[in-house]
Amino acid sequence: MEKMNIVFLLFPNLTQLDFTGPLQVLSRLPGAQVSLAAKTMEPVPTDAVLTLNPTHDFQSCPGADLLCVPGGFGIDDAMQDEETIAFVRRQAEGARYVSSVCTGAFILGAAGLLQGKKATTHWAYHDELKRVGAEPVKARVVRDGNLFTGGGVTAGIDFAFTLMAEIAGEEHARAIQLGLEYDPAPPFDAGVPDKASPGVLESQRERYAPRVAAFREALGCALKQS
């Protein structure tokens, strides 16, 4: 296959698995060349101790064939940052595929890239997709044209295999799945609201409530700037 330049957006306090899950899969695409783009070349902190070293800043990053935007609590600041949003718009213009994982969808939304598009995100933020002009779809992976969005965190792995099958064919995706021994068998069937017990669901809604409230305020500010 021809070269595939995959650009991941990095920003402080992103959820590392939103990034590292898709990275592990997509870096095995034939011809993959991965660029990790951040506002500066300083190490980028994540939500789980790990720090990430950018390969490029926004000015030096090559154009993306595939743009991938992870999520995380850091989206509150990222989607209000003019340089970040300008970079995303610029990269999306020439990309064959534009994509996000989890709440990274709202960075795409703040850049005006979800208008009239079907999309998904983390369950706690799902209804907020309407505020960026998207049509929320409750699914682990959603495709609308060249736009691919993944649900919360671990959905990024399924999302990456969906993209791999689209780009390199299902047979190659199956081979990489075997190589990574991706055969999920969680000990509990409680990974989405419809499957969680009422007590577990309520505890998580309470945990996310202040976080979602802060996000809504940040999203309002981001949309005023756009």
Give the pLDDT confidence of 103-124 residue by residue, as tens digits: 999 999 999 999 999 999 999 9
List the CATH number of the domain containing 158.
3.40.50.880
Per-residue DSSP letters for 161-219?
Answer: HHHHHHHH-HHHHHHHHHHTT-----SSS-SSTTTS-HHHHHHHHHHHHHHHHHHHHHH
Instruction: Tell me the residue range of the domain where 207 lies.
Output: 4-225
Backbone angles phi, psi at 131, to 5 degrees: -70, -20
Side chain identity at residue 223, one-letter code: L
Q: What is the pTM of this model?
A: 0.97
Catalytic member of 61, 68, 102, 221: 102
Q: What pLDDT score was predicted for residue 11?
A: 98
Backbone angles phi, psi at 60, to 5 degrees: -95, -5
Catalytic, 102? Answer yes
Average pLDDT over the chain, rounded to an integer: 97
Number of domains in the chain: 1
Helix (H, G, I), strand (E, B) or coil at 111: coil
